[in-house]
Amino acid sequence: MKGRADAPQDQGYLVGICFFILGLGTLLPWNFFMTASLYFQGRLNTTESSNGTVVVHKEYYFNNWMTLLSQLPLLLFTLLNSFLYQRISEAMRIAGSLVFILLLFFLTAVLVKVPMKEDRFFSVTMATIWFINSFGAVLQGSLFGLVGLLPQKYSTVFMSGQGLAGTFAAIAMLLAIASDAESESAALGYFITPCVGTVITLCSYLILPRLEFAQYYLNKSSTYEAGTKDELLSESSTVENGKLNGHANGSVTSSPAEAEVDPRPDGTAQAFLSLEQVDREQAKASVIEVFKKIWVMAFCVTFVFTVTLSVFPAVTADVKTSFPGKWDRFFLSVCCFLMFNINDWLGRTITTFIRWPCKESRLFPALVVSRVVFIPLLMLCNVQTRSYLPVYFAHDGAFTAIMALFSVSSGYFVCLSMSYAPQLVEPKDAETAGALMTFFLALGLSIGAALSFPLRALV
């Protein structure tokens, strides 16, 4: 922040910790469902022996549907959060989403103990995934708006928390497998973890208004003021205030704090901002004008996530180890999920020190496009079952090395594109650039999820 001598200190870095946890909380749904793919597939593709013959049940393409039904609501609700949700207060959207996410995780945990026909289990799980990710998208959009009111480093902290959610899920899965508990109890323990995680996330949100540092920045936004003072207590006043303030959609426009909020170099804080509102302000360039300046970066973020989601997890989660035995149980959690998430997080973090190629460089989009080689490379790993392609990289080490490069480059290029875009426009248009980039991020995730169907079938 510029010259804020009167600004209070973040005592004990508590606000930072809260936003880290809030970031982690937003990606718990996606990561906990994805990492548990073996549990879900185990319940769906059961093999039964009847009269001595083994009957293999139908293929559900669980990973594909899980990916699509997680990322489509993200795209839809990213848009809805910008246009339709201006009437619902921020406190309602954040606390409400967290409560619904908690209930849905709880339902998933309960279902571990409920025997069910496979078709029905598939439908219930898919409905859960759709709704949990819809609430997740509203939560994420609202929080991006909120973190935008704080100094810039808080959005890095928030993104860092998001990056750690996958690692958290992978470690929870490893502990569940390593525990000697029989598989049902292990699965129950696994799904209780995000319930606890969501409660802690909710507590972090509720603590925020009590911290002086957060009050100082966030209360400047009338949205948050209303949200934190009255609205948690009374639902009716929530809606009323939301209407009065008219910008309860997580956007950071028109608040007294606006002039003092730095333009966001990483372009994430203005994410989900109402494009319409920005457009209305005369001095600012139109969305189309901004897009013309940042289209290369918009293309890059879309392309990176398209490549990433087209094979991860739909293809990579079906890779089998070349060392059968005890290792078999741990292989997927370690070499696929933990590997991806640690390296994705590493790739994002490296951008703090290394920013190469520069934003004008033609090499940047060229490198992003060249990531497409990871698609055939991963398809040629030991994916089972397979119909058409040969296995070229049967060894676990080869798969792990490809995964490491795939995920580091994913995190690295996503983070660079997101931070370059706002730098390509004038500071007054940085918000619009951030919002546009977030839309393209979600678009890339959805296109990748859709592509994962033909790619998995081609293997």
Ligand X SMILES: O=c1[nH]cnc2c1ncn2[C@@H]1O[C@H](CO)[C@@H](O)[C@H]1O
Return residues touching ligand X (CB under 6 A): 27, 30, 74, 140, 166, 308, 312, 344, 410, 445
Q: Which C-beta is closer to ligand X: that of 137 or that of 285?
A: 137
Give dist(CA 221, CA 215) in Å, integer. 10
In the complex, least distance from residue 33 CB atom to ligand X, rounded to whole angstroms? 11
Q: Which C-beta is closer to ligand X: that of 27 or that of 186?
A: 27
In the complex, least distance from residue 360 CB atom to ligand X, rounded to whole angstroms? 25
In the complex, least distance from residue 362 CB atom to ligand X, rounded to whole angstroms? 25
Specify the DSSP class assigned to residue 51. Answer: T
Helix (H) or strand (E) holding 94: helix 90-111
Q: Which C-beta is closer to ligand X: that of 137 or that of 383?
A: 137
In the complex, least distance from residue 291 CB atom to ligand X, rounded to whole angstroms? 20
Strand partners, 192: none
Give every CB contact of residue 293 below 8 A, 6+ residues apart in sequence.
Answer: 424, 425, 429, 433
Q: Which C-beta is closer to ligand X: that of 29 or that of 242?
A: 29
Is residue 403 within 8 A of residue 343, CB to CB? The reply is yes
Residue with tokens 């995680």: 197
In the complex, least distance from residue 312 CB atom to ligand X, rounded to whole angstroms? 6
Q: Which C-beta is closer to ligand X: that of 221 or that of 410?
A: 410
In the complex, least distance from residue 308 CB atom to ligand X, rounded to whole angstroms? 6
- CA-CA-CA-CA torsion for 433, 437, 438, 440, nearest 10 degrees? 140
Q: Which C-beta is closer to ligand X: that of 74 or that of 285?
A: 74
In the complex, least distance from residue 71 CB atom to ligand X, rounded to whole angstroms? 7
Paired tokens of 265 = 């170099």
Q: Which C-beta is closer to ligand X: that of 219 or that of 316?
A: 316
In the complex, least distance from residue 271 CB atom to ligand X, rounded to whole angstroms? 9
Q: Which C-beta is closer to ligand X: that of 211 or that of 350?
A: 350
In the complex, least distance from residue 411 CB atom to ligand X, rounded to whole angstroms? 6
Q: Which C-beta is closer to ligand X: that of 24 or that of 252?
A: 24
Helix (H) or strand (E) holding 214: helix 212-218
Q: Which C-beta is closer to ligand X: that of 18 or that of 24?
A: 24
Give dist(CA 297, CA 437) in Å, integer. 8
In the complex, least distance from residue 11 CB atom to ligand X, rounded to whole angstroms? 30
311: nearest Cα among 397, 228, 405: 405
Return the HEC string of 291-335.
HHHHHHHHHHHHHHHHHHHHHCCCCHHHECCCCCCCCHHHHHHHH
Q: Where are the beta strands (DSSP E) in 108-164?
A: none
In the complex, least distance from residue 106 CB atom to ligand X, rounded to whole angstroms? 21
Give dist(CA 163, CA 348) in Å, integer. 8
In the complex, least distance from residue 166 CB atom to ligand X, rounded to whole angstroms? 6
Q: Which C-beta is closer to ligand X: that of 241 or that of 306?
A: 306
436: nearest Cα among 278, 208, 312: 278
Is residue 247 within 8 A of residue 253, CB to CB? The reply is yes
Number of Cβ atoms within 10 Å of the Cβ of 280: 11
- 3-state secondary structure (DSSP) of residue 220: coil
Annotate 255-299 with DSSP letters as a single string.
Answer: -TTGGGSPP-TT--TTTT--HHHHHHSTTSPPHHHHHHHHHHHHH
Angle between helix 14-26 and 153-178 (nearest 10): 60
Distances from the Cα of 359 to the Cαs of 172, 293, 296, 356, 413, in angstroms? 38, 12, 9, 8, 11
Q: Which C-beta is closer to ligand X: that of 149 or that of 449?
A: 449
Number of Cβ atoms within 10 Å of the Cβ of 115: 7
